């Protein structure tokens, strides 16, 4: 596409308007001949410093929020917001694929991945096939890409959406993180339905405070197509606020059965799965899912409400959610022939950990052993609260390392231990090495015990210092369980 075609309304020198652009990149190392380089100022790296490298690799033009560097031989375009430009340019270059898809967006603190995965199944039931971009995987009929982050950078989002269009896929489900919204990764996307699951303390190391965190989530609802509905959890205080503040049309759902456009009634949760009635304006229908835990009611109901908003009939919704056997790392069973239950979950915030343990308590009356930790270089304010919750709701909590990153694991565990001590539970253990913590939990398990391993879920690596080492809670637990 010609440069003028992907930058409408932006002042471009006449002699540069017909420059042909093959792609858009913000990482100079990824530049191929014919690409446009967008110089972004990041938290750790500044693309402005790598302009010369991008040009040497074949960049045909540069977009920046600063004046041109002396000696740069390619067209230089100044814009106010390079990150937003990156998203919009990527979308235009790919033919604005979100406009050609039925696109669902899911945001919130907890439940995003499960809800987005369930919506993918609902859309696939309705349209034959669907795509997914989520924390666990980026999926098209052509390939599965391991997810590097919840929501990828704009060029990859648009590449995947365009691939779906090329494959004749008509719909996709996109999990949208607050980071992605704040950093304009989804600029250039337009949504047919937007879903809000909840908002609890997380990522305050990035956002600073809850008000900024909420404001980031609210941005998704400004990215809907004309007439597209927003669906929010009204059991959550921020959900009720969003329902009143976001532009219409907005609808609410209540997992606890409170008055709402969509509500759950007659719920049953046990080790066989989750069942409840979806009650809405046109009637009611039964959902039965193999997913475990009462917290899944909110994810199932939010997905069902989104499906109804998109015109999917109840029979298709019920069949779709019943087909989702598990969501990787979301109360996922580990089966290794052991006479007790092992469950792995991604819960890494105080609210998520509390909801997880309350759900497990509802599933069993036997002893609960918990392995959990808190990530390094992240909000330290959640460490003691998570320790208190673990001590209060688990019989034997084992505090260990999550992804310590550049922090000393002992420093993190001391903060967690303050909460454990405050809970009054004296049976807790503190084990720095995560593999050893899982081993000790398995050795403490008896027939009927439930071992819960929380924090990393689907992740297959652990970040310690500058190293990223292979580590999968599910594989580690299974190996120890097989040893007996």
- DSSP 8-state secondary structure symbol assigned to residue 47: G
Backbone phi, then psi, for 464, in 5-degree steps? -125, 115
pLDDT tens-digit series, residues 307-329 = 999 999 999 999 999 999 999 99
C-beta separation of 81 from 41 below 8 A: no
CB atoms near residue 400 (< 10 Å): 26
Residue-wise over 265-287: b if at least 16 C-beta within 10 A, else e? eebebeeebbbbbbbbeeeebeb
Average pLDDT over residues 35-60: 94
Kindly list the distances between the CA atom of residue 61 and the CA atoms of 42, 65, 71, 155, in Å, as whole numbers in the listed order. Answer: 20, 14, 13, 16
pLDDT for 429 beyond 80: yes
Class of domain 3-80: alpha beta
DSSP 364-380: -SS-EEEEE---TTS-G
Strands 224-233 and 144-146: unpaired
Average pLDDT over residues 139-168: 93
pLDDT tens-digit series, residues 76-107 = 999 999 999 999 999 999 999 999 999 999 99
Would you call 33 exposed, middle or buried from its count of C-beta atoms within 10 A (0-12, 13-18, 19+)?
exposed
Residue of 387, 321, 324, 380 lying closest to 357 (CA atoms): 387
How confident is residue 146, by pLDDT bands cut at 50, 70 and 90?
Answer: confident
Average pLDDT over residues 276-304: 96
Residue of 290, 83, 287, 53 lying closest to 184 (CA atoms): 83
Residue of 329, 281, 324, 271 lying closest to 300 (CA atoms): 324
- Domains 3-80 and 332-482 are alike in CATH topology: no
- Considering the domain 97-323, what is its CATH architecture? 3-Layer(aba) Sandwich (3.40)
Q: What is the pLDDT of residue 204?
A: 72
How confident is residue 44, by pLDDT bands cut at 50, 70 and 90?
Answer: confident
How confident is residue 205, by pLDDT bands cut at 50, 70 and 90?
Answer: confident
Average pLDDT over residues 230-254: 97
pLDDT for 42 beyond 70: yes
Largest Cα span, the chain: 76
How confident is residue 376, by pLDDT bands cut at 50, 70 and 90?
Answer: very high
Per the structure block, which two tokens stand in for 218?
């609210």
Q: Pseudo-torsion of CA 210, 65, 187, 216, nearest 10°? A: 0
Q: Percent of the chain at pLDDT above 90? A: 88
Residue of 223, 191, 219 lying closest to 102 (CA atoms): 191
Cβ contacts of residue 383 below 8 Å, gap of 6+?
A: 374, 412, 415, 416, 418, 419
Write down the pTM of the prediction: 0.88
Which has the minimum average pLDDT: 77-86, 261-270, 386-395? 77-86
How confident is residue 16, by pLDDT bands cut at 50, 70 and 90?
Answer: confident
Q: What is the pLDDT of residue 9?
A: 67
The per-residue pLDDT of the chain, averaged, comes to 94
Q: What is the pLDDT of residue 18?
A: 82
Class of domain 332-482: alpha beta
pLDDT for 61 beyond 70: yes
How confident is residue 43, by pLDDT bands cut at 50, 70 and 90?
Answer: confident
Q: Where are the beta strands (DSSP E) in 197-272?
A: 224-233, 250-254, 262-270
Would you call 383 exposed, middle or buried from its count of C-beta atoms within 10 A (0-12, 13-18, 19+)?
buried
pLDDT for 12 beyond 80: no
Q: What is the pLDDT of residue 2?
A: 82
C-beta separation of 166 from 95 below 8 A: no
CB atoms near residue 325 (< 10 Å): 11
How confident is residue 52, by pLDDT bands cut at 50, 70 and 90?
Answer: very high
- DSSP lists the bridge partners of residue 405 as 464
Q: What is the pLDDT of residue 484?
A: 75
Q: Which region holds residue 208: left if phi is over 0, alpha if psi is between -120 and 50, else beta?
A: left
Q: What is the pLDDT of residue 203?
A: 72
Dist. CA 337–CA 329, nearest whole Å: 19
pLDDT for 468 beyond 70: yes
Q: What is the pLDDT of residue 226?
A: 97
CB atoms near residue 374 (< 10 Å): 31
pLDDT for 14 beyond 80: no
Domain boundaries, the chain: 3-80, 97-323, 332-482
Q: What is the pLDDT of residue 15?
A: 66
Which has the minimum average pLDDT: 1-10, 168-177, 267-276, 346-355? 1-10
Dist. CA 436–CA 422, nearest whole Å: 25
Dist. CA 469–CA 378, nearest whole Å: 19
């Amino acid at each position: 596409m010609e440069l003028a075609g992907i930058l409408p309304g932006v002042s471009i020198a006449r002699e540069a308007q017909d420059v042909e652009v093959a792609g858009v990149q913000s990482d100079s190392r990824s530049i191929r001949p014919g690409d446009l380089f967008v110089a972004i100022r990041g938290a750790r790296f500044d693309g402005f410093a790598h302009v010369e490298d991008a040009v040497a690799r074949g960049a045909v033009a540069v977009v920046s929020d600063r004046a041109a560097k002396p000696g740069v031989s390619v067209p230089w375009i100044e814009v106010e917001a390079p990150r937003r430009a990156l998203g919009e340019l990527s979308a235009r270059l790919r033919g604005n694929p979100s406009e050609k898809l039925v696109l669902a967006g899911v945001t919130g603190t907890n439940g995003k991945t499960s809800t987005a995965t369930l919506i993918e199944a609902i859309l696939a039931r309705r349209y034959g096939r669907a795509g997914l971009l989520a924390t666990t995987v980026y999926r098209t009929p052509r390939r599965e890409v391991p997810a590097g982050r919840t929501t990828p950078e704009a060029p990859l989002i648009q590449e995947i959406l365009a691939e779906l269009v090329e494959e004749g896929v008509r719909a996709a489900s996109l999990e949208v993180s607050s980071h992605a919204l704040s950093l304009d990764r989804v600029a250039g996307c337009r949504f047919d339905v937007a879903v809000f699951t909840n908002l609890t303390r997380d990522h305050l190391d990035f956002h600073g405070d809850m008000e900024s965190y909420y404001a980031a989530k609210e941005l998704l609802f400004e990215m809907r197509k004309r007439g597209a509905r927003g669906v929010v959890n009204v059991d959550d205080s921020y959900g009720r606020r969003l329902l009143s503040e976001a532009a219409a049309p907005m609808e609410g759902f209540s997992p606890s059965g409170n008055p709402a456009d969509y509500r759950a009634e007659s719920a049953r949760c046990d080790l066989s799965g989750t069942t409840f009635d979806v009650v809405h304006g046109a009637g009611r229908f039964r959902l039965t899912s193999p997913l475990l835990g009462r917290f899944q009611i909110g994810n199932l109901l939010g997905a069902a409400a989104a499906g109804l908003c998109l015109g999917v009939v109840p029979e298709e919704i019920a069949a779709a959610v019943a087909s989702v056997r598990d969501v990787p790392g979301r109360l996922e069973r580990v089966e290794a022939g052991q006479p007790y239950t092992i469950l792995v979950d991604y819960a890494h915030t105080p609210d998520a950990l509390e909801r997880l343990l309350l759900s497990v308590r509802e599933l069993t009356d036997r002893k609960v052993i918990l392995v959990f930790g808190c990530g390094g270089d992240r909000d330290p304010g959640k460490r003691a609260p998570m320790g208190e919750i673990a001590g209060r709701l688990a019989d034997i909590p084992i505090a260990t390392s999550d992804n310590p990153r550049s922090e000393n694991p002992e420093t993190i565990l001391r903060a967690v231990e303050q909460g454990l001590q405050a809970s009054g539970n004296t049976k807790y253990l503190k084990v720095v090495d995560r593999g050893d913590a899982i081993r000790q939990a398995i050795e403490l398990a008896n027939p009927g015990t439930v071992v819960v391993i929380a924090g990393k879920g689907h992740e297959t690596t652990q970040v310690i210092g500058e190293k990223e080492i292979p580590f999968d809670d599910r594989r580690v637990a299974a190996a120890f369980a097989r040893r007996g």
